[in-house]
Amino acid sequence: MLNQKQAVLLESPAQTNDVPPPAPAKIQEPDTKTVGRVTVDKPIMTTRNVDVYYGEKQAIIDVSIDIAYNEVLSMIGPSGCGKSTFLRCLNRMNDTIESARVTGKIELEGHDIYDKKTDVVTLRARVGMVFQKPNPFPKSVYENVAYGPRIHGLARKQAELDEIVQTSLQRAGLWEEVKDRLSEPGTGLSGGQQQRLCIARSIAVNPDIILMDEPCSALDPIATARIEELIDELRQNYSIVIVTHSMQQAARVSQRTAYFHLGDLIEVGETSTIFTNPQEKLTEDYLTGRFG
């Protein structure tokens, strides 16, 4: 796996999960109204004073937060508060929306991802994304997983590609279920399997971070439990940012939780602290179900 991982990081050889760049001597706490500590000791990604506008309308207001190596960060908040919008800034998926405009600074291992010199293709190979509705391509299971490695030229031989497909499916916990039907269409799997196929598809390009936008909201409880387990396992190798509507899910899978409200990042903290002892009234109201 390590070899493959290095193969993806074509841009700067120094950037790997295993050898993080030296952390700054003293962490500069950003100037923010967010309650709780938004920084971490060894961030893989940092965001500072991010604003997002859709045309005239501001959807994200001055958000700063760090993402650590090998952590699951969950983002919660009432619908329309900008969770998806913020998540989509992290791999520049907002570029595909004509009216969207992002300001502020977002860095992946010290490199500004909105810099002109950053290739968005490489960025997205390093910051993968899993969507709310499973969206396998109308191709075979194998081709779905092989898609990313193919476009990034990660395998020179068929055997290598087979290997990548198998490991990715194994890591996504789908191998046992599909190993005999690799040539069947991915769209023919069950919803939960499709979502795990989409996870396998992102794992196949060996990202550093996986963004998940309500990955279980279209799934039944059993498929959901299966994915939650998976997220916990994936933390060994990746950082994960997950948007979720279910507070139980946030509590089960994440180490840190960020609470968004109407475009503001209200509060950030250890998941256990946020859930047992929120500092902000808004957070508490949301968690106790007074609105949302």
Ligand X SMILES: Nc1ncnc2c1ncn2[C@@H]1O[C@H](COP(=O)(O)OP(=O)(O)O)[C@@H](O)[C@H]1O
Of 83 and 126, which has the nearer Cβ to ligand X? 83
In whole angstroms, the minimum distance from the beta carbon of 105 to another protein comes to 22
Residue 160 CB, nearest approach to another protein (Å): 18
Residue 59 partner contact from Mg ion, ligand X, another protein, none using kind-dependent CB cut-offs of 5 to 8 Å: ligand X
- Least CB distance from residue 137 to another protein, whole Å? 6
- Residues 258 and 265: their CA atoms lie apart, in Å, by 7
Is position 248 an interface residue for ligand X (rule: CB under 6 A)?
no
Q: Shortest CA distance to 164 belongs to which of 180, 136, 181, 144?
A: 144
Based on the shown chain and the rule CB under 5 A, indicate whether residue 168 belongs to the binding site for Mg ion: no
Is residue 97 a contact residue for ligand X (CB under 6 A)?
Answer: yes
Considering the complex, what minimum distance in angstroms separates the CB of residue 214 from another protein?
A: 13
- Residue 112 · residue 106 · CB < 8 Å: yes
Return the number of the residue (84 or 195) whose C-beta is nearest Mg ion. Answer: 84
Cα–Cα distance for residue pair 129/273, rounded to 1 Å: 27
**Cα–Cα distance measured from residue 161 to residue 157, given in angstroms and rounded to the nearest whole number:** 6
Closer by beta carbon to another protein, 205 or else 219: 205
Tell which phi-psi region holds residue 289, choosing left (phi > 0), alpha (psi between -120 and 50) or beta: left
- Counting every residue written for the chain, the total comes to 292
Among Mg ion, ligand X, another protein, none, partner that 124 touches (CB below 5 to 8 angstroms by kind) = another protein
Q: Which of 8, 35, 38, 59 binds ligand X (CB under 6 A)?
A: 59
- Site track for ligand X across 68-87, x = CB under 6 A: ---------x-xxxxxxx--
CB of 77 to ligand X, least distance (A): 6
Please report how close the Cβ of residue 245 comes to Mg ion at its closest, in angstroms. Answer: 9
Among 84, 167, 202, 271, binds Mg ion (CB under 5 A): 84
- Is residue 85 a contact point for Mg ion (CB under 5 A)? no
Q: Where are the alpha helices (DSSP H) in 134-270?
A: 141-152, 158-171, 175-178, 191-203, 221-234, 247-253
195 is a site residue for ligand X (CB under 6 A): no
What does DSSP say about strands 100-108 and 209-213: parallel, antiparallel, or unpaired?
unpaired
Whole-angstrom distance, CA of residue 51 vs CA of residue 102: 6
Q: Which CB, 58 or 70, lies closer to ligand X?
A: 58
**Nearest one of 89, 106, 93, 118 to 43, comparing CA atoms:** 106
In 30-178, where do the E strands start and end? 43-54, 57-68, 72-76, 100-108, 111-112, 127-130
Residues found near Mg ion in the complex (CB under 5 A): 84
